[in-house]
Amino acid sequence: MARVALVTGGTRGIGAAISGALKAAGYTVAANYAGNDDAAAAFTAETGIPAYKWSVADYDACVAGIAQVVAAHGPVAVLVNNAGITRDAMFHKMTPGQWKEVIDTNLTGLFNMTHPCWTSMRDAKFGRVINISSINGQKGQAGQANYSAAKSGDLGFTKALAAEGARAGITVNAICPGYIGTEMVRAIDEKVLNERIIPQIPVGRLGEPDEIARIAVFLASDDAGFITGSTISANGGQFVV
């Protein structure tokens, strides 16, 4: 039986690419999304991957949503924590609400999703947890104190949980994308992209969602069984750790 993979934020952008790549690699894939019903319906119609709606910021909703996926497809063997939001503002203008929204989704969301899956992974003596962090969690970014803090926290979560999961056959790794050519990034003013963003990327271009997806497929595979607690940077050389 094919292993079940659950991808949060899995119907758009990088998440959609990961969902599609995992399906192509032979996994039974379920995609979570939070709000865009039209995009989710179009994604399912195009890929045949079922989409399930809940907010990763709500622990009880995650428990219920994961239970729905398990009932339909079986225990989750591969969890890709990709869901994320931005609420950008310079710190002196940032509101407590903007801080909390981003932390609740981008950091606490990892706990909310991983915790309900952890016991079944331990029982199965197999699991793959793949956390999508960000270049801005590694280097910081002005106007993103909330986002950078959450994405940096994702890396600490990854390392600590990797230490706990290793003897149970569970690997936990993080991917830190740089600027990827998603709908959101390509919506940036062309002049800003060409004059301020792309010149900072040594390879001279945006990354593609499929390039991040291929990393996720590898980390989900048996071939990656000796890799855990790692952070893989995919940023075209923009920030070298």
**Active site includes 59?**
no
Q: Which of 27, 33, 52, 147 is catalytic?
A: 147
Alpha carbon distance 228, 4 (integer Å): 20
Burial 162-173 (b: 16+ CB within 10 A, else e): beebeeeebbbb
What one-character DSSP code corresponds to residue 91? G
Q: Are the CB atoms for 11 and 31 separated by under 8 Å?
A: yes
Q: Are the CB atoms for 163 and 121 separated by under 8 Å?
A: no
CB atoms within 10 A of CB 214: 16
Alpha carbon distance 45, 36 (integer Å): 14
Q: What is the DSSP string of 64-75?
A: HHHHHHHHHH--
Q: Which two tokens stand for residue 156?
A: 């600490």
The length of the chain, given as a count of residues: 241
Q: Are the CB atoms for 228 and 165 separated by under 8 Å?
A: yes
Residues designated catalytic: 147
